[in-house]
Amino acid sequence: MKKIKWLVPTIYIIFLMLPIYWLLNMSFKTTTEIINVYSLWPKDFTLENYVTIFTDSTWYMGYVNSITYTVFNTIISVSAALPAAYAFSRYKFLGDKHLFFWLLTNRMAPPAVFALPFFQFYSSVNLFDTHIAIALSHCLFNIPLAVWILEGFMSAVPKELDETAYVDGYSFGRFFFKIFIPTIAAGIGITMFFCFMFSWVELLLAKTLTATIAKPIAAIMTRTSSTSGYELGLLAAAGSLTIIPGAVVIYFVRNYIAKGFAMGRV
């Protein structure tokens, strides 16, 4: 039993890697090779697809746009959620439980429900096709999540920490920034990871709220199927590149992922 235990995760990881490998495999082929020859590795190895993406500004600006609004959203969500999570973890106030559930309900709203009204709403306040519009709209599901995770981390910190600091003559602001935030640094890291993740992978709202200037890479990719046939090689290369930012972020937070879930309210 002990000896074959590693087999299960190994098989699972192979299953996870197969479609990713297939995407990479295709990205190094020419479109004609993809369509005409079935092979497990590129026979006619080419970097042409990647060159196209990095030299055409409509392509690479897509990555810049996606990263821009994702970072905006992460900053807005976490900085707004910090004081709120503190309030929920330390105080009772009128309507606190209802407010908490109301926040969570927004994580439950199907984005498809909001797509059209968001389009009209952001157009009417002249924010259509801007990075900030996508960053704000993603707050709809990221802020509730951020409050939820941070509240869990903050509740794990004993209240005596606050009281000792006040006895020592700290003002609230100094306590919050100098003592409290460093104490829950790991929790903030995890929260940023989740905000980044959900903002990076969402497409429906990001696509609805943009036309040309702030268009995310994922939406630009749909272009390959509409013009000039189906450029599979290019599509595969663009897809492969969208995996990189996520992989980089995972590498940095790898030690916190499991711990973060365990410590939070979750």
Partner 1 sequence: MNKTFNQKAWYFVIPVFVLVAFNAAVPLMTVVNYSFQETFGSNVFAWEGTRWFKEILHSERFHASLGRQAIFTFIILLIQLPLGIFIALTMPKKGWGVPVCLILMSMPLLIPWNVVGAMWNIFALPDIGFLGNSLNSIGFDYNFTQQSGDAWFTTILMDVWHWTSLVVLLSYAGLNSIQPAYYQAAEIDGASRWDIFRYIELPKMKKVLTLAILLRFMDSFMIYTEPFVLTGGGPGNATNFLSLDLVKMALGQFDLGPAAAMSLIYFLIVLLICWIFYSLMMKNEART
Nearer to partner 1, 38 or 169 (CB): 38
Nearer to partner 1, 83 or 229 (CB): 83
* Cα 113 to Cα 254: distance, rounded to the nearest angstrom: 34
Could you tell me the CA-to-CA distances from 210 to 22, 115, 126, 207, 214 in Å, in that order? 30, 12, 12, 6, 6
Q: Which two tokens stand for residue 171?
A: 């003002």
At its nearest, how many Å lie between partner 1 and the CB of residue 51?
20
Q: Which two tokens stand for residue 181?
A: 């935030």
Nearer to partner 1, 94 or 167 (CB): 94
* Cα 131 to Cα 215: distance, rounded to the nearest angstrom: 9
* Cα 114 to Cα 116: distance, rounded to the nearest angstrom: 6
User: Of the candidates 242, 261, 250, 252, which has an alpha carbon nearest to the alpha carbon of residue 201?
Assistant: 242
> Which phi and psi (to 5°) does residue 169 adopt?
90, 15
| CB environment 230-259: b (16+ within 10 A), e (fewer) | ebbbbbbbbbbbbeebeeebeeebeebeee
User: Of the candidates 30, 28, 158, 131, which has an alpha carbon nearest to the alpha carbon of residue 71?
Assistant: 131
Nearer to partner 1, 116 or 211 (CB): 116
Nearer to partner 1, 48 or 115 (CB): 115
At its nearest, how many Å lie between partner 1 and the CB of residue 147?
6
Nearer to partner 1, 45 or 246 (CB): 246
At its nearest, how many Å lie between partner 1 and the CB of residue 241?
9
* Cα 240 to Cα 63: distance, rounded to the nearest angstrom: 12
Q: Is 228 helix (H, G, I), strand (E, B) or coil?
A: coil
At its nearest, how many Å lie between partner 1 and the CB of residue 16?
6
Nearer to partner 1, 51 or 116 (CB): 116
At its nearest, how many Å lie between partner 1 and the CB of residue 55?
21
Nearer to partner 1, 61 or 115 (CB): 115
* Cα 29 to Cα 39: distance, rounded to the nearest angstrom: 10
At its nearest, how many Å lie between partner 1 and the CB of residue 30?
13
Q: Which two tokens stand for residue 176?
A: 């919050």
Q: Which two tokens stand for residue 76?
A: 């807005």
At its nearest, how many Å lie between partner 1 and the CB of residue 91?
4
At its nearest, how many Å lie between partner 1 and the CB of residue 225?
9
